[in-house]
Amino acid sequence: MNSASESTVGVNTGILSVSDTVQPYIQKAMNKYHFNLAATPVSLFVPTNRPKGVEIQPKLSRHARNNILLAPGSFNPPTKRRHQFNIVAWFTFADPDDIVLTREKKYGDIILPQQLRYKMFAQVPELALMIASGWLHLLLGDMDGHIEVLRSMTDLIKESELDVKLVGFLGGDKLSMMSEPHLPSVFLTEWGPVDEFMIVNARRPVDFYSTGRDSDSRSGRPIDIPGCTKWEREVQAGDLEIVTEQERSLGVLWVCKALTVPGQPVIRFRASESSASNGISSTKIRQIMSESPDEELYEMLRDKVFSVELLVEWMLEHRKGSQTEALIEKLQ
C-alpha cells in the first residue's frame, strides 16, 4: 500500500504523447501487462514534490544503440555509490520488504520499508531531476512483472526500427569462475529474457578478474567462466579519446556469452583496477544502523547514504517502537 505522500503511475495514466522517448512505450507495455488480471501489478513510484517544467530526456536515438538498464537490489539503505553508463533509461527495483527479510546478511535485522527506500532516492535533488526527466524510473511490483513489462517495452521500441537492448546490471558478486551462470549461486535465469548483462568491479573484486593471477597479465584478461564462451576484448567504436577516457574511468570492456542461460545473453564486464563503489560498504552502514547511538547516527551516515535526514528520522522512530515493544513484552 502506498503512503499518502507518494503515488504510482500505472495502467490508468494513459499514453504520453512524447515522441522519441521511452515514456509512451513504458505506458503501452504496462497497459498490455495489466490485461492479465492474475499478474502482480507493476507501476512506477512517483514522488509528490517533483520538479516542475523538466524536459523529458534523454531522447531515443535513431542512429546509435539505446541501452535500457535494469538494476534491482535491496537498497537497504540506498547508498552513494556512483556508476557511469551510456544509457537512455535506468529502471531501479528495490526488493519488497518480505524479500529483503529472506536475505541472510550481517547486521541485516533492520529492514527499511520499500516506500522509504524509494523516498530516499527521490529526495536527492539530482535524482529527483532524473526521475522528472524520465531518465530514472523506480519500479513497484515484483521481478517477474518488471521483466515482462520491460521486455515488452523493449520489443515495442524495436518495432519502431530503433536499435535497443535491455541490459541487466549485476553486482560484482553475482558472477563467479566457480559456477555456471544458470545455477542457483548465480541464477541469471531468474532475470528472464534480457538481452545483455553488465558487470563492473565492485567493492569486493570479482573472483574471475585479477591481472596478477591471469596467464596474460599484460592484457589483464579475465578468467573464463564455466558455461560461458571465452572472454574477448570488445573494440569500441567512436572517438578514440572518449573511448580511452571510458576505459580509464570505467575499465577495459570484455565480452562473453552465457551459453547455459536461455537466449544466451551477452555478458559485458568492465575490468577496472579501482572500485566502482567509492569504497562504501553496505555491511558497515548496516552495522552503524544497528549499533551506533542515536546522537551519532547522522554524522556516521551522512557521507554514505542518500537522504540521511530521512533515514535518521525513521531510525529514531524505529528504535522507540522497538524499545516500547520490548518493554511491553517484559511486563507481560
Going by the DSSP 8-state scheme, the letter that residue 61 receives in this structure is P
Axis-axis angle for helices 143-159, 23-33 (nearest 10): 120
Which residue ranges make up each domain of the chain? 6-271, 292-331
Q: 213 with 205: CB under 8 angstroms?
A: no
- Residues 305, 81: Cα–Cα separation, whole Å: 9
Helices (H), 259-307: 282-291, 297-301
- Residues 309, 307: Cα–Cα separation, whole Å: 5
The pLDDT value given to residue 229: 96
Grid coordinates representing 38? 492474475
Find, among 99, 102, 94, the residue nearest to 146 by Cα.
94
- Residues 262, 260: Cα–Cα separation, whole Å: 7
- In the block, cell 560461458 appears at 228
The pLDDT value given to residue 281: 74
pLDDT in tens, the chain (332 residues): 344 345 444 333 333 333 588 989 998 998 888 777 656 788 888 887 777 778 777 788 888 889 999 988 888 878 766 555 668 899 998 888 888 888 777 878 889 998 999 999 999 988 898 898 888 999 988 878 888 899 999 999 999 889 999 998 877 667 788 888 877 766 787 777 889 998 865 545 678 887 544 444 345 788 899 999 999 988 766 666 666 766 776 678 899 999 998 889 999 988 776 655 555 677 888 999 999 999 999 999 999 898 999 999 999 999 988 777 666 666 66
The pLDDT value given to residue 76: 81
- Residues 332, 328: Cα–Cα separation, whole Å: 6
- Residues 93, 150: Cα–Cα separation, whole Å: 12
